[in-house]
Structure 1
């Protein structure tokens, strides 16, 4: 009894996943017009099991292309990371200029200097 309950639960979760997958892909499909999208959704509501299979068969190649495009749309660049410094002396000089201008405190200057010299792990 427990085995069959577990098996039905797996089937239901898989079914719900397929329904949401098809709905997501229907709305990602730029080639289909609004009427076609509405027809797929209506069929998915009234004949869900058969519609899921038919949708995958009819749009299989397009699904793979849209998934690939959706995953590749986020550029993986390092623009958000700060650039590496050219030398510790330049870092210390910039930090000293900021300290002299009153932008940073003496403690912040000491932390930048310690990091530039590579002493941040030694407590110096």
Structure 2
């Protein structure tokens, strides 16, 4: 008779299973934090609903996560995409504002050049100057 072979008889197999378990735990915690983050960043949920989902996810984590993913999983991606687009637009607006805006002195110089070349009348120049300085 052969004695039963155990996984502990193969150290490399033990290492593989340990790595697989660590990977699954890390994956689980990433999913847990993603769901909790989605609960708190969703503006369509009220405070009571957010509290209920959070309690459900914390008290019964496996069932809570799976129920949340089934009930609201599709919206998670849409909300994440919407937040990313809003952040991108805010960044682009900031860059446009920072890089594209010239000083009042530059604008006044440009207006004076236009007036000197005859492209602007004295009245148009004064109106543009007043608008710029206000």
TM-score w.r.t. length of structure 2 = 0.57
Superposed CA deviations along residues 12-58 of structure 1, whole A, max 9, x for unmatched, are: 10011011000110011112111111111111111111111111110
Q: Which residue of 1 aligns with 2:21?
A: 8
Superposed CA deviations along residues 65-87 of structure 1, whole A, max 9, x for unmatched, are: 2101110112253423368xxxx
Q: Which residue of 2 aligns with 1:28?
A: 41
Q: Which residue of 2 aligns with 1:81?
A: 99
Relative contact order, higher structure (CA 8 A, sep 6+): 1
Q: Which residue of 2 aligns with 1:47?
A: 60
3-state SS of 1:32 partner: coil
Superposed CA deviations along residues 82-109 of structure 1, whole A, max 9, x for unmatched, are: 68xxxxxxxxxxxxxxxxxxxxxxxxxx
> How many matched pairs?
85
Distance in 2 between the 1:56 and 1:23 partners? 11
Structure with the larger helix share: 2
Rg comparison, structure with higher value: 2
Q: Which residue of 1 aligns with 2:51?
A: 38
Q: Which residue of 1 aligns with 2:72?
A: 59
CA RMSD in angstroms comes to: 2.1
